[in-house]
């Protein structure tokens, strides 16, 4: 393929992409900018260790600059965890488990507490079982960590999609007396 055909192909692809309404998900400016909205989210305090791990991932992904001084939104969540057998031998010995984590998430107005949007995300991670109890404990812990990281990423993407649509209303910033 000659360079002129390659150039034409790239030009056609670029024109097609521009015509489809493509816009970056994490844009910094303009209508539907997600980064400024993320900076206004306060994440609720955890109740247990698993909730604390999820919150830490969310803080790293959504508000890496730290908790906002005057948040406009509050993000709360509830975690449900289930473990199921995947591989069972003929002697009914379980050799692999699936850890499934479901996070029900609510984004609310910080001042009024009124719900803005809610959604649920699910993440799975598998781990092997051996005859060593400590190895099983570490494998389950690692699977939980992977599932929580994936769930936090899904939450970040869902929030970015919500804010990226530009159909939200930014709560008024309270006046400082």
Query: pTM for this one?
Result: 0.74
- pLDDT digit string (tens) for 110-126? 999 899 999 999 999 99
Residue 155 lies in a domain: yes
- Count structural domains, the chain: 1
Residue 55 lies in a domain: yes
Local confidence band at 131 (pLDDT 50, 70, 90 cut-offs) = confident
The pLDDT > 90 percentage for the chain reads: 47
Residue 61 lies in a domain: yes
Residue 116 lies in a domain: yes
Residue 177 lies in a domain: no
Query: What is the reported pLDDT for 144?
Result: 96
Residue 175 lies in a domain: no
| CATH number for 89 | 3.30.160.150
Residue 63 lies in a domain: yes
Domain hosting residue 43, numbered range? 25-164
Q: Return the H-helix or E-strand segment holding 21.
A: none
């Amino acid at each position: 393929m000659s360079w002129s055909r390659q150039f034409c192909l790239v030009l056609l692809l670029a024109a097609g992409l521009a015509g489809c309404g493509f816009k970056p998900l994490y844009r910094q400016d303009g209508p539907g900018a997600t980064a400024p909205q993320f900076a206004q989210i306060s994440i609720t305090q955890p109740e247990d260790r698993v909730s604390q791990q999820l919150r830490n991932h969310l803080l790293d992904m959504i508000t890496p600059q730290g908790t906002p001084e005057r948040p406009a939104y509050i993000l709360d969540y509830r975690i449900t965890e289930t473990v199921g057998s995947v591989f069972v031998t003929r002697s009914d010995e379980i050799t692999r488990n699936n850890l499934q984590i479901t996070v029900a998430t609510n984004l609310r107005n910080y001042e009024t507490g009124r719900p803005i949007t809610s959604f649920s995300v699910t993440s799975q991670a598998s781990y092997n079982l051996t005859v060593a109890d400590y190895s099983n404990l570490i494998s389950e812990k690692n699977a939980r960590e992977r599932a929580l990281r994936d769930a936090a990423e899904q939450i970040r993407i869902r929030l970015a999609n919500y804010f990226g649509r530009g159909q939200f209303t930014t709560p008024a910033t309270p006046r400082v007396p």
